[in-house]
Structure 1
Amino acid sequence: MKYLSTRNPDHLVSLSEALRDGLAPDGGLYVPETLPHVDGTKFVGHSHIRYIAEDLLAPFFAGDPLAHDLGDICDETFDFDIPLRDLKDDTALLELFHGPTAAFKDVGAGFLASCFSRLNKGAEEPLTVLVATSGDTGGAVAAAFHGKPNVNVVILYPKGKVSPRQEKQLTCWDGNVRTFGVHGVFDDCQRIVKEAFADEAFRDRINLTSANSINIGRLLPQMTYYAASSVWYRKRHGVEPNYVVPSGNLGNVLACLYARECGMPIGEVVLAVNENKPVVHFLETGEYKGFDTVATVANAMDVGDPSNMERLRHMWPDVDTIRQKISAYQVDDETIRQKIRTGLDDWGQVWDPHTACGVAVREQLDSPHWIVVSTAHPAKFDTVVEPLIEREVTIPDQLAELLDRPDYSSELDPSLDALEAALVD
């Protein structure tokens, strides 16, 4: 399997090169040259996602040195539960918050860390993993890479624009992890990352790579939980499920679409988005443009110019085709708050803001058999959730341990020059 740039179909690289580079030299994003058909019926007998992961991802690793390590990489990545919980009204919940930092991004981050530790084994110069985060990515990457030999991590997050507990998960790391609170919004952080990759001298000087969802290594393992949950749901209920995916930078929903294109039993795919409108605007008008970021209670989805839109439009250049493949519903903050407030009575569940956004969309859909993707544990958003439900949310053990650590972060102006100066210090 080779990987090509979204901006140059003739630029083909191996999986290891795509992982290592993160972004193509022309500024494009790497995508598989083809999406292989996978026989999902052979997954029916697999109760553990780890075995589904290895079978599903094997074609994407074909011909690459990492193929020999795929089994071990899957063992290391999928070492926590990813349950599919049936609720009511033909609705199930895919719980992606049982990993080290209680968010879905633990899957992609853990997978990349396992790959990078093998790719750079024995190298003279350490890799530098540069990450922009709107909340959960940075914490997941820090936890996955902390203490890994021959890899340094630099995390950029919008200062004051993430929840206190999210911030604590970003700032509690030392050693090979450095965290900077940027005076700006997430799109400023993402812009700095893109500028860093575009600056060849800077990129080479610090041996730069990325663990954001611009890196194809984030998307590949995320396909696995869509493949697994679709097979599990069909085995239980006899029909293929539809999905509601809370969406910001579009990496998670793109993984769902990749899994469906590979032949997994996935029906409709609906994006649940907050008051940030690039996706809804694009589907309504056929015109794509970035917008200023709007701060919402579902802050991990506060993205005004999602990077993975480039992959989506590369896969389906025609907007009418995209409209046939996905739809999107926008949910405002008050509706999200209301769904959190009534979650226990209506569903017997405490929702985080992003899952609440997905539930609000599910309740607008008449057709049966939906899986709502639950992307984070509500304890990560205590300042939003607890006043609405008028009780404390139990903190999972893995999150409680991180909250007790000291703060090692620094602050940063929103420019590549400021980052370069900080890294020299």
Structure 2
Amino acid sequence: MKRLEINNTIDKFTKSDYLIGTSICFVISILYMFNLNQIVVGGLSILLFLFYFNRIRKRATLNEAFTICLILTLPFSFSPLVGSSFFSLFIIIQFLFICVLFASNFSSKKNLLIQILGLGLLLFCLGVYFFNQSNYPKILVETLIKTLLFLLIIIIALIKLKMSDLTVSSMMKFYVFAASVAGLMVLIQYLSLKILGINYLGVQNQFGKSRTGFAGLFYDYSISSIYLSSASLILCYGLLTKKYIINYKWSIIFLLFTIGTSVLTSGRSGIAALFIALFFLLIYLRNIKIIVISLIVGFPLVKTILYIYSLNRTTNLSNDSGRLDNYLNALNYFYKNFWFGSRFLGFSETSKSMLPHNFILDFLVQYGVVFTLLLLLFLIVVWFKGLKKQPILFFLFLLMLVGGNFHASFINTHYIVIPLILIIGTLNNNESISYHK
């Protein structure tokens, strides 16, 4: 089978590996999009990913295979396998990945500060749960499980996970292909509504007559737009540094497609986060020629994006969509619940207010100042350690952090765990990795 090249290095994954994985991602996404029987689609998705997992293990380590499956389930990671529960295939794979990492032999004594911070966060969560288990049990358990899964996979990865730099490049390729599937879902939604008048495909957020938000299979159109823009950033990084994830021609095509579909969501968050991340990337590269070319190309692109936005919304782009009021309500709630926030009881349920569309305020009202400071320190240390090892992952997470200032439930976006575990895997990798034969 034909092997592909990444940065003039032979990729260990074949063209068929990428094609089959992306095809499975597309098939499951389209079945969920058209609201086919949930149990049938859920069962089929499990069978297809079992088949793909077995196939990919011929060339990947166990950890790499799980990471690939996590990436490929992102486009439908909010689609439950049964009923209205939050147990999607993504959540199940994440749990199994944690179990596999926990059972593995590798143990790192590096990054002790991060490990201590992570364990502190974990103990904090369990302590808060123990002292509040009689209150709002359903809300509490769901919030706790999602938070624990997020923390556990990062903490255990710090001790157990190893990945090579070349593997990260392969993961970025899988990420771009999976995001393109999500973009295709948004495009199908958009065309179905505009041409056929069909408004029941996937998740659509209606804002009166002013605009419609197209989220694909994500629960929120802003989160969908950030996910699509994150793929655009990966492609931009490849084009600007000539470290192509895929070849030049296809990089341009996928870049235009992911930017275009991010705009079609009607969310401003993704494009705003993309431009801010690119601004800092250009400063980091410190190449005058690249900066000039980017400005020349960027001006007509921005004009086109603004024009498309104007076609899909009647409100001004500078409209804060009620965010300022949410911020003020959140700050007032935080002052009254300074140390522990809503204590996993759910800010929206206890305050009867919408979650603030800002990840720091989100943390403060949900968990209080203790958890927020620990979590931010934890994330920042991991994040900056990745700058020297894998700059692309640093800027990818930067985009997600910036985007987190425009939507709620930062931990619950699913895609944020990908750059974190990849950064950790490369930090731990100081020797060769043996592959399954």
TM-score of Structure 1 vs Structure 2, range by shorter chain: 0.3 to 0.5
TM-score by length of 2: 0.35
Larger radius of gyration: 2
- Higher helix proportion, which one? 2
- Higher strand proportion, which one? 1
